[in-house]
Amino acid sequence: MVDQTTSGAIAGTIEGAGAPAPGGVLHRALDWRGAFWVAAGVPPLVLFSIGGIAGVAGKAAFAVWMVSMVMGFLQSFTYAEMAGMFGTKSGGASVYGATAWLRYSKLIAPLSVWCNWFAWSPVLSLGCAIAAGYILNALFPIPLETSPQVVDWVAAHIAGYTAQTQSVLDHIAANPGTAPETAIQAVAQADAVAALTPALRHWEAFALPIPGLGTLHFNSTFATGVVLMLIIFAIQHRGIASTAKSQKLMALVVLVPLFLIGLVPILNGSINSANVTGIVPPSAAYSGTDGAWDIGGWTLILGAMYIAAWSTYGFETAVCYTAEFRNPATDTFKAIFYSGLLCMVFFFLIPFTFQGVLGQEGMLSAGVVDGTGVGAALAGLVNGGPIITQILVILMIMALFLAIMTAMAGSSRTLYQGSRDGWLPRYLSHVNEHGAPTRAMWTDLAFNLFLLALASDVTGYFYVLAISNVGYIIFNFLNLNAGWIHRIDSPHLPRPWRAPTLLLAVNTGLAFVNALFLGAGAKVWGYSGALWSGLIFASLILPVFWYRHYVQDKGHFPREAMEDLGLSDHTDLGPRRAGRLPYLALLAGAAVVLFANWFFQLPG
């Protein structure tokens, strides 16, 4: 094995073979600060779902973010220990934890890696969908009902509407009790907005329904998102060092203003205490009215915790680059620890300030919920005018770029390492001359073109988020349990940083709390079958792994994967010192998910 303190140009050389593994290797070109800046794309994830979580958690939304962030920070210490054990691997916590399950089932290890990948990868499509919305709004804005051009259009055409006009009759039927004059004005305004909206905003090449999944929309949002994906791909094609430099520049430009915007309303007294006290869940999702702490209320809160985890736990991506660290023995812990502290600041500050200033009504506005109005909302927090609003919209696009860059860098390395370890197809282990896993990046891109088409409207956006998070919670459950399995089965492996045993035990308990979130929370987002859709997608790894392991590798794992565990025989995966405990943990986790899914029900 390569010495874990190696500072050479390459990582992953196979001992005895004297040459890199087929397809090339990653370059050791990064220290913990570089990984910190790559992971700096995680704090902007709070803006992806801040409106959605406010809709299902009501006044408790900011507290949900805080509790979820604390959980994520505690859990990261288990991941930090495992990352230090594997100084020659990349791909993140899912890869390091998957090796713990290898002795107990060949299927669990690739499941963990697959679930982590399909949880992280959709950041590309979701981020590009929101960024595309910002760009289209800036270049081809939809006029407001109160804008001068709409007012002029209504004045010029309102004489053509009467109480007998069909659209007026339809409006009255949909809004009983509406006076004809009011209905005429409303219909005329709606028609004016439609007439004055640029044609590109309505353009759609075609829509493709997918039974049981949703509808693929190949529209202006999709086309703009594709261009953004290709730009990000081009940046990362130059390797991790180039990516880290780009991330550092964007992070400083984005995070400093975002921090100040979150802090100013607290310092100048703009927080309305009524918005952040009397914490109760809403009476129903997106109702905007207070409910009660009954089963329905708790279901909504657990649903909010379920989606918040997708963002707040995400800084674990800081240890995706262990094989690219110059000194993995010391850099792994520093990278994830300081990334966690950075996220702690933003996931505490931004939701509290948003809710404290905007209240439930402001948090539930359409632009905040779908993400395209967050820039304007940020300007409102500091009473910014049109110029400040435009600057913050640009910063929002850059913040989304940060998150997307982080996701592509981490998820592609998960695919790369999964291939090197014998879990995913061989072609994914290729890297280019800059040490970038380009085939894994192209695979990410192709997958996200499909997701981008699905997420090109707000309904599909949250569906993608809800399904992908099924994989993320499964990954977290498996990897938090992997911590204690490694302690029992692999005591011989060096641990440059060792988590306190008590904290390891606490994190094992949090694994089952996450299982509770999964069972109760997946259905909160308007898709009763989101849990089952996510589980079906997770199972797709089975034929992929079967082909790689039994067809390509004839039932053996690559030698380097075994050497990472201190083993040499491809057919002997080592002693199972933990006995039946890992199987009992799996059964208990499944029981928690099924019970929570049955017991917790939405209000009404």
pLDDT at 599: 95
Two structure tokens written together for 110: 């690739």
Q: What pLDDT does residue 22 have?
A: 47
- pLDDT, averaged across the chain: 85
Whether the per-residue pLDDT at 140 is higher than 60: the answer is yes
Find out whether 526 and 462 touch, Cβ atoms under 8 Å.
yes
Q: Is residue 90 within 8 Å of 413, Cβ to Cβ? A: yes
Tens of pLDDT, residue by residue over 219-246, are 898 999 899 888 888 887 776 667 778 8
Q: Determine the Cα–Cα distance for residues 123 and 119; give it in Å rounded to an integer.
A: 8
Per the structure block, which two tokens stand in for 319? Answer: 């240890």
533 versus 267: which is more confidently predicted?
A: 267
What's the pTM value of the predicted model, to 2 decimals?
0.83
SS3 of residue 179 by DSSP: coil
Q: What is the pLDDT of residue 457?
A: 65
pLDDT score of 444 more than 60: yes
Report the alpha-carbon distance of residue 302 to residue 473 in Å, rounded. Answer: 13
Beta strand 204-210 pairing with 214-219: antiparallel
Q: What is the pLDDT of residue 125?
A: 83
* C-beta neighbour count of 397 within 10 angstroms: 21
Inform me whether the pLDDT recorded for 92 exceeds 80. Answer: no
Q: What is the pLDDT of residue 85?
A: 86
Q: Model confidence over 288-336: pLDDT tens digits? A: 899 999 999 999 999 999 989 988 998 988 887 777 788 888 888 998 9
Higher pLDDT, 322 or 195: 195
Residues 182-212, buried b or exposed e (16+ Cβ, 10 A)? ebbbbbbbebbbeeeeeeeeeeeeeeeeeee
pLDDT tens readout for residues 99-116:
889 889 888 889 988 998
CB atoms within 10 A of CB 418: 30
The strand pairing partners of 19, in sequence order, are: 14
SS3 272: coil
Between 389 and 581, name the one with better pLDDT: 581
Give residue-wise pLDDT tens across range 378-395.
888 888 788 888 888 888
Residue 244's contacts (CB-CB under 8 Å, 6 or more residues apart) are: 30, 34, 35, 37, 38
Lowest mean pLDDT: which of 66-80, 345-359, 397-411?
Answer: 397-411
Task: Tell me the pLDDT band of 201, cut-offs 50, 70 and 90.
Answer: confident
Q: For residues 481 and 515, what is the distance between their CA atoms, to the nearest angstrom?
A: 12
**For residue 10, what pLDDT is reported?**
37
Instruction: State residue 379's pLDDT score.
Output: 85
Q: By three-state DSSP, how is residue 10 classified? A: strand
Provide the pLDDT for residue 241. Answer: 66
At 119 the pLDDT is 85
Does residue 416 contact residue 428 with C-beta atoms inside 8 Å? Answer: yes
Least confident window among 26-30, 495-499, 508-512: 26-30
Cβ–Cβ < 8 Å for 358, 58: no
Residue 313: Cβ within 10 Å count: 28
The span from the CA of 466 to the CA of 306, in Å, is 9
Q: Is the pLDDT of residue 372 over 80?
A: no
Instruction: Please report which confidence band the pLDDT of residue 569 belongs to, taking 50, 70 and 90 as the band edges.
Output: low
**Quick one: CA dihedral 87, 485, 478, 295, positive or negative?**
negative
Give me the pLDDT at residue 376, please: 83
Q: Count Cβ neighbours within 10 Å for each residue of 77-93 and write b for 16 or more, e otherwise.
A: bbbbbbbbbbbbbbbbb
Assign 217 a pLDDT band (cuts: 50, 70, 90): confident
Tell whether the model's pLDDT for residue 4 goes beyond 50: no
Beta bridge partners of 14: 19
φ, ψ dihedrals at 282, nearest 5°: -75, 165
Task: Specify the pLDDT at position 459.
Answer: 66
Which range (28-37, 315-324, 453-462) has the least confidence?
453-462
Which residue did the predictor score with more confidence, 382 or 161?
A: 161
516: pLDDT strictly greater than 90: yes
What is the per-residue pLDDT for 166? 92
DSSP 548: I
Backbone angles phi, psi at 12, to 5 degrees: 100, 10
Least confident of 290-304, 336-350, 404-418: 404-418
- Please give the pLDDT value at position 154: 92
Average pLDDT over residues 393-412: 82
User: How far apart, in whole angstroms, are the C-alpha atoms of residue 517 and residue 480?
Assistant: 15
First to last CA, the chain: 59
Could you tell me the pLDDT band of residue 458, with boundaries at 50, 70 and 90?
low
150 — phi, psi (to 5°)?
-70, -45
Alpha-carbon span 501 to 508, nearest angstrom: 11
- pLDDT reported for residue 17: 32
Do 255 and 47 touch, CB atoms closer than 8 A?
no
Reduce the DSSP state of residue 148 to 3 states and report it: helix
Quote the pLDDT of residue 298.
Answer: 96
Coil/strand/helix, residue 208: strand
3-state secondary structure of 14: strand
Nearest to 371 by CA among 391, 347, 393, 389: 393
How far is residue 413 CA from its own chain's centroid? Answer: 16
Say which DSSP state 421 is in. T
d(CA 204, CA 199): 10
Residue 403: predicted pLDDT: 82
Determine contact, residues 304/57, Cβ cutoff 8 Å: yes
User: Do you know the residue count of the chain?
Assistant: 604
| Mean of pLDDT values over 135-161 | 88
Domains in the chain, CATH or no CATH each: 32-142+197-599 (1.20.1740.10)
